Structure 1
Amino acid sequence: MMKVRSIFAAVTVFSLPCLLVAQQKPQSAAAVKLDFEAVGTPIKADPVDAKIAAALKQVSVERIKANITRLVEFNNRSTISSTETDLKPGTGVLAAADWIKSQFESYSKECGGCLEVSFDESVEQPQAGFNNSRPRIIKPTPLRNVVAILKGTDPVASKRMYLVTGHYDTRETDVMNTHDFAPGANDDSSGTAVSMEAARVLSKLKFPATLVFVTVAGEEQGLNGSHHLAERARKEGWELEGVLNNDIVGGDTTPGDKLQSKQRIRVFSQGILPSAPIEQIRQTLNIGAENETPSRQLARQVLAVGRTYFPGTFHPVMELRLDRFLRGGDHRSFSEAGFASVRFTEWRENFDHQHQHVRVENGKEYGDLLKYDDFDYIARVARLNIAALATLANSPGIPQNVRVTTSNLDNDTILKWDAPRSYTQPVTYQIVWRETTVNDWQYVVNATQFPGKDANSTRLPVSKDNVFFGVRACTAAGICSQAVGPVPSRE
């Protein structure tokens, strides 16, 4: 018995320190700040610009409705109707193009000739077909994009451009049908009306950078008009830093549909470009940066604009997809040409009201009819586009050559960058970041709070392995560009 008691006593004495340690209360998780939480401040809405806020009030639901109503009256705006000779006068795609151009010209007259209005013309040659379908253009077909340019006021910053577009062509169930009623009230008179209203409202203001308002043809035939314009922009060296494409933004209102949201708009954007050099794709995948592309950063800027100008009322939702399943849009043309671009589309589409022969069948009505558009919703989409365009045009533009130093193994992050290409005013820089499992920016800090050794650099006590970083350029008034994600550098 003595032996047993001795062993028990020894064990008890030996275990006492461990027991005391175990009884100590762990530090509260809420009291522990991780490095990325301790260094920055939670990101908030950017300051409201009074002129932009005033411009948003000028958006007219009545004008939007009138423009869409007039577009529907052209009966069938199929791109290939440009080759037809037996259309009723005042109908068809060319008549629609002439009318849109006249509207842009009337806006220009109101602002003393501030808009440069023109046709961006081309002839689309016969196609071989795509996606195992029959060709949608079978003979040389004239295309007319309608373009209105609001030149920037700053001689240097005006080289930088931002573009908004929608397609004004329509289609029937049979994409080759050029005569039957194809109103396209939602797809895409709604997007065309957004571009037109943006031109009317923003032409009354002045911006350092240049704004381009466009309506394109040939979308239903294979993104032909946007492809031509994007290639023109690439060949001519446009400093095009953002493209906003509006396609199906009518807020379809079908009786009985309780799942549509009039407080949301989807924002689609390109991830990795399949056409990018293979080494660039490999590097992007190695560091998990497939969501840090220029188009995804532009989408995040749209979200930021939404926080600033429409808190709690209208919510842009970032979709990590180029587009919807089985569908495509004109932003793809610009993305493939190397330009940051996004697509706006209503929250819930009704496919009975798209690409349909107008009819009633078994008691159900088919067709993209005017009665299913929600003009108040389209006006909200127009305001979001206007706020985004104005913010971007007032910003300094994106920082260039943004990189993260990867030559050392440490828990700091060294970021370096060059100034925006086309800006002459004083520029400040902000560093934004988010956890790798989060989609939108969470934290921000002014770069000057953690200066690096070189100009336009910072050294942050935040591990580059645990977050995604971005650098954005801001004016003294706090109007910022979209962020740019860094690429690894051994410098």
Structure 2
Amino acid sequence: MRSLLLASAVALIAMPASAQPAPPGEVTALYDIATAASPDRIRADIQTLVDFGTRHTLSETQSDTRGIGAARRWIYDEFEQISADCGGCLEVIYVSDTISGERRIPDPTDVVSVLAIQRGTTDPNRFVMMSGDIDSRVTDPLNGTSDSPGANDNASGMAGAIEAARILSKYQFAGSIIYAGLSGEEQGLFGGEIVAAHALAQGWEIKGVLNNDMISNISGIDGVIDNTTARVFSEGTRFVETEQEARSRRFTGGEVDSPSRNLARYVKAQADQYMTNLNVMMVYRLDRFGRGGHHRPFNQVGIPGVRIMETHEHYDRQHQDLRTEDGVVYGDTMDGVDEDYAAKLTGLNMITLAGMAGAPPFPANVAIEGAVQPSAKMTWETPENAGNLAGYRVHWRLTTDPEWTRSRYIGNVNEWTFDNLVIDNYFFGVSAVAKDGSETPVVFPGPAGRF
């Protein structure tokens, strides 16, 4: 036995260093970022947005105290103040267009979103975005005059994006982060549509949109009170997939490995590593059954995006006139806000934003082969601006596993052979790892998984 142990030790010492590259460690700063959001600041920001009376897309725009115009100007000013505090690290802009002739916007209306852009140090054209919605509504979607507090839906998501900007603007990242307040969500997702078009026109490479829509309610219509779980919704296949790509996917797989789906897996993996007392439930749907959210317009133009939200909704507090009927109180007021939970979900967003922005460029042109062979071989390319790249990690899982279960750090190479892993039985992917340990989501081979 002693001889065997000695022989093993000698073998390990004699093994070339390149055969066992050491992976970078975990990103310890993310533990601090995960808990840095202030519940008090988030509640104060939600209250400020509620105090505008209504933020309906069709509401007042000239008043300084009421309506969506006042609300978006306040958000703009908050981002400007955050930028001043970090020495001008944020570029704050309005992105808008005029919408008319729509079922919920019949007359010409300016739909104006607010973006704060924190540019990356080495790869500034690569973005990850956190968004909340500025607008609110009551029962009648065309009612732009009645009080519509929209405390949870969706002042909570907007307050989370502002708080994330306050905290992450104190750090520097290789890639860029966008903190967004989107308008027109309740009228047909128009703000997201306009911003997505603007991003494409600017040539921005947005690798992920984190749509936060209702992140402060813990008491559900189902009677469950839960502040320890969050849902992440994501599409399974790319909406922009061509007929030829769909035909290829039918034979090679990827139905549940769109970039949006692997972004959702990444959100969960970040939570599992860097957060306590928060379980992420991945929901394999674009959004809630038959409903929509502001990540969808981005998906529809090929930009990966997911929806992050509470697990147990309370429908009496959504899209309701303020009233009491038969002893039931209706309306989206501050009574339904749990700021500690909102801070927790803001932390979830922040470690996702920081992880992706801190990561190297995503592996490009990932491909795999291995039909009727004993092993699968995967290849990829390293894009430009990869100065912070340490190397790559390969991943594999059984085709029925919902998450990536196995991985190996392989160093700075551009191909890997999975010896004696038959390609028929597994799904494979690759992620890029930075020198500080920040890592991209897993990229699935071929068009099906292309970020």
* TM-score after normalising by structure 2: 0.90
Report how far residue 250 of structure 1 moved: 1.4
Alignment of 1:171 with 2:146, yes or no, is: no
**Aligned with 2:152 (options 173, 177, 186):** 186
Relative distance call for 1:208 and 1:417 in structure 2 (3 A) is same
- Please state whether the residue corresponding to 2:187 is helix, strand or coil: helix
Give the corresponding residue for 1:402.
Answer: 366
Distance 1:316 1:48 in 2: 20
Please list the CA deviations of residues 316-341 of structure 1 after superposition, one character each: whole Å capped at 9, or x if unmatched. Answer: 11111000012101101111111111
Bigger radius of gyration, 1 or 2? 1
**Aligned with 1:69 (options 34, 38, 47):** 47
Which one is further off, 54-63 or 208-217? 54-63
- What aligned pairs does 1:129-140 form with structure 2 within 5 A after superposition? 135-140=103-108
Which one is further off, 263-272 or 479-488? 479-488
Report how far residue 488 of structure 1 moved: 9.0
- What aligned pairs does 1:62-101 form with structure 2 within 5 A after superposition? 62-82=40-60, 90-101=65-76
- What aligned pairs does 1:119-134 form with structure 2 within 5 A after superposition? 119-127=94-102
Give the corresponding residue for 1:432.
Answer: 395
Write the letter of the residue equivalent to 1:365. V
- Please state whether the residue corresponding to 1:188 is helix, strand or coil: helix
**Aligned with 1:445 (options 397, 408, 415):** 408
RMSD, matched Cα: 2.0
**Aligned with 1:200 (options 150, 163, 166):** 166
Distance 1:381 1:286 in 2: 38
Distance 2:400 2:383 in 1: 29
Q: Give the fraction of aligned pairs with identical amino acids, expressed as a percent.
A: 36
Distance 1:46 1:367 in 2: 49
Report how far residue 345 of structure 1 moved: 1.4
Alignment of 1:261 with 2:236, yes or no, is: no
Report how far residue 258 of structure 1 moved: 4.2
Relative distance call for 1:308 and 1:180 in structure 2 (3 A) is same
Relative distance call for 1:72 and 1:433 in structure 2 (3 A) is same
Distance 2:138 2:161 in 1: 23
Please list the CA deviations of residues 25-83 of structure 1 after superposition, one character each: whole Å capped at 9, or x if unmatched. Answer: xxxxxxxxxxxxxxxxxxxx995423333333431110000000010011111111157
Relative distance call for 1:307 and 1:332 in structure 2 (3 A) is same
**Aligned with 2:438 (options 459, 468, 479):** 479
Please list the CA deviations of residues 109-134 of structure 1 after superposition, one character each: whole Å capped at 9, or x if unmatched. Answer: 1111111112112211222xxxxxxx
Please list the CA deviations of residues 412-463 of structure 1 after superposition, one character each: whole Å capped at 9, or x if unmatched. Answer: 0000001144422343111111111110010011235xx9xxx511111211
Report how far residue 89 of structure 1 moved: 5.2
**Aligned with 1:238 (options 194, 204, 218):** 204
Q: Is the 8 A contact 1:399 1:421 kept in 2?
A: no
- Please state whether the residue corresponding to 1:233 is helix, strand or coil: helix
Alignment of 1:148 with 2:148, yes or no, is: no
Alignment of 1:456 with 2:414, yes or no, is: yes
> Is there any run of 5+ residues in structure 2 with no aligned partner, and where?
1-22
Give the corresponding residue for 1:12.
Answer: none
Q: Is the 8 A contact 1:107 1:200 kept in 2?
A: yes
Q: Is the 8 A contact 1:400 1:421 kept in 2?
A: no
Distance 1:221 1:386 in 2: 28
Give the corresponding residue for 1:60.
Answer: 38
Q: Is the 8 A contact 1:82 1:141 kept in 2?
A: no
Q: Is the 8 A contact 2:388 2:435 kept in 1?
A: no
Distance 1:52 1:386 in 2: 8
Give the corresponding residue for 1:36.
Answer: none
Report how far residue 480 of structure 1 moved: 1.2
Give the corresponding residue for 2:256.
Answer: 291
Distance 2:326 2:423 in 1: 60
Distance 2:374 2:447 in 1: 15
Q: Is the 8 A contact 2:26 2:436 kept in 1?
A: no
Distance 1:47 1:355 in 2: 46
Q: Is the 8 A contact 1:46 1:304 kept in 2?
A: no
Write the letter of the residue equivalent to 1:352. D
Write the letter of the residue equivalent to 1:466. N
Q: Is the 8 A contact 2:27 2:437 kept in 1?
A: no
> Is there any run of 5+ residues in structure 1 with no aligned partner, and where?
1-44, 128-134
- Please state whether the residue corresponding to 1:81 is helix, strand or coil: coil
- What aligned pairs does 1:367-386 form with structure 2 within 5 A after superposition? 367-386=331-350
Alignment of 1:273 with 2:231, yes or no, is: no
- What aligned pairs does 1:197-236 form with structure 2 within 5 A after superposition? 197-236=163-202
- Please state whether the residue corresponding to 2:152 is helix, strand or coil: coil
Q: Is the 8 A contact 1:58 1:201 kept in 2?
A: yes
Give the corresponding residue for 1:29.
Answer: none
- Please state whether the residue corresponding to 1:191 is helix, strand or coil: helix
Please list the CA deviations of residues 79-114 of structure 1 after superposition, one character each: whole Å capped at 9, or x if unmatched. Answer: 11157x7xx651010110011111111111111111
Q: How many residues align?
A: 425
Distance 2:272 2:94 in 1: 36
Q: Is the 8 A contact 1:160 1:422 kept in 2?
A: no
Distance 1:92 1:427 in 2: 49
Distance 1:108 1:414 in 2: 46
Report how far residue 274 of structure 1 moved: 4.2
Distance 2:138 2:71 in 1: 17
Please list the CA deviations of residues 334-393 of structure 1 after superposition, one character each: whole Å capped at 9, or x if unmatched. Answer: 111111111001101111110000100000000111111111000000001001100111
- Please state whether the residue corresponding to 2:84 is helix, strand or coil: helix
Relative distance call for 1:46 and 1:282 in structure 2 (3 A) is farther
Give the corresponding residue for 1:17.
Answer: none
Q: Is the 8 A contact 1:260 1:347 kept in 2?
A: no
